[in-house]
Amino acid sequence: MIKRTVYFGNPAYLSMNKQQLVVNYPKVEEAKTVPIEDLGIVFLDHPQITITQPLISKLLDYNVALITCNERHLPQGLMLNLDGHHTQQAQLAAQIEASAALKDRIWKTVIQQKIYNQAAVLKLTGASIENMNYWASQVKNGDPDNYEGRAAAHYWKTVFVDYIEGFTRGRFEAAPNSLLNYGYAILRAVVARSLVGSGLHPSLGIHHHNKYNAYCLADDIMEPYRPYVDQLVLKILEDEEGEVELTWDIKSILLTIPTLDVIINQKRKPLMLAVQQTTASLAACYLKERKKLKLPVWEI
């Protein structure tokens, strides 16, 4: 079942009653309710939002990802359940004990599929994808030759060329970087939530290792899914006929990321459900129950 993404961008008092999220707005007498079991991600994007501890606890019980935003209305914090699977200890032990060889093999498949999916996005723009496909085919275990970096340099130089002159990908660079950052934050929450649901710890990465990053594994596993965000941003640029800012209307489009169509295991599914298949397959790889990840494949 696809879970709902709910955004709160106005003053509100959020509480719980009978397994329902209860929303009370100032000067509005009638409260609104949402079944907590239907929720997947909750965005809190206003300094005058109050949320009760019982509601936070119940949201985490249902493995809802709770995201808070800063004064610039950008995602800042992510809260997740720490006990999201019935065999948590066995899953976590297998994750910790995973060999370097296994991680390198997994990373190869992740990067290969990321580059192939980036190539599919470039093809939508009419650009040549011969180099991208070659680089993807040459990735070895652990990507020691950094084909990911070569592909990324070409990809970012090319993907927005019809709309942005001299685009530079960066966290604090000009638009549409703000759109990409917002979309990736949503994607990261979807992946982190699913990792916890599969009994894995999002801090213990395959490739990313940063003592300041609590979501290294989420950053690893989201790589093949990033092009779906990129394609959505491309569509926004096309519809808006050029450079755009991160307005509420644009945010509302980006909040549909969990429902984007993805092909995985030869079936079309919403992105959120595809991610669940990916993280479950990763847990199975750690447990030595399967050898390959299930990853999204773009139709070209």
Domains of the chain, earliest start first: 4-79 (3.100.10.20), 88-286 (1.20.120.920)
3-state DSSP of 59-127: HHHCCCEEEEECCCCCEEEEECCCCCCCCHHHHHHHHHHCCHHHHHHHHHHHHHHHHHHHHHHHHHCCC
Decide: 39 and 61 in contact? Cβ < 8 Å. Answer: no
| Rounded-to-integer distance, Cα 205 and Cα 95, Å | 9
pLDDT, average across residues 262-277: 94
Any long-range contacts for 91-97 (C-beta under 8 Å, 24+ apart)?
91/198, 91/199, 91/200, 91/283, 91/286, 91/287, 92/199, 92/200, 92/201, 94/283, 94/286, 94/287, 94/288, 95/200, 95/201, 95/204, 95/283, 95/286, 96/204
Pairwise pLDDT comparison (292 vs 74), residue with the higher score:
292
Which residues touch 14 (CB under 8 Å, ≥6 apart)? 8, 21, 22, 23, 24, 49, 50, 51, 52, 55
| Rounded-to-integer distance, Cα 215 and Cα 203, Å | 5
Asked whether residue 140 carries a pLDDT value surpassing 90, the answer given is yes
E strands along 235-289, which residues?
Answer: 261-264, 267-270
Can you give the pLDDT at residue 87?
A: 65
Confidence category of residue 210, pLDDT binned at 50, 70, 90:
low
**Tens digit of pLDDT for each residue in 74-128?**
888 889 887 655 566 788 889 999 999 999 999 999 999 999 999 999 999 999 9
Model confidence, pTM: 0.90
Place of tokens 């019980």: 61
pLDDT, average across residues 2-20: 93
Average pLDDT of the chain is 91
Decide: 200 and 92 in contact? Cβ < 8 Å. Answer: yes
Can you give the pLDDT at residue 102?
A: 95
Question: Does 223 show up as a binding residue in the annotation?
Answer: yes
| Rounded-to-integer distance, Cα 246 and Cα 62, Å | 30
Decide: 6 and 34 in contact? Cβ < 8 Å. Answer: yes
H or E stretch including 253?
helix 248-254
Can you give the pLDDT at residue 163?
A: 85
For the record, the structure tokens of 192 come out as 């982190």
pLDDT, average across residues 33-55: 95
Question: Does 209 show up as a binding residue in the annotation?
Answer: no
Can you give the pLDDT at residue 110?
A: 97
> Given 3-state DSSP classes, what are the helix, strand and coil percentages for the chain, each rounded to the nearest 5?
45, 15, 40
pLDDT, average across residues 42-53: 95
Which residues touch 35 (CB under 8 Å, ≥6 apart)? 19, 20, 21
Confidence category of residue 191, pLDDT binned at 50, 70, 90:
very high
Place of tokens 């969990």: 258
Question: Kindly report the CA angle at 137 between 132 and 141, in degrees rounded to 5?
Answer: 120
pLDDT, average across residues 47-71: 94
Question: Does 86 show up as a binding residue in the annotation?
Answer: no
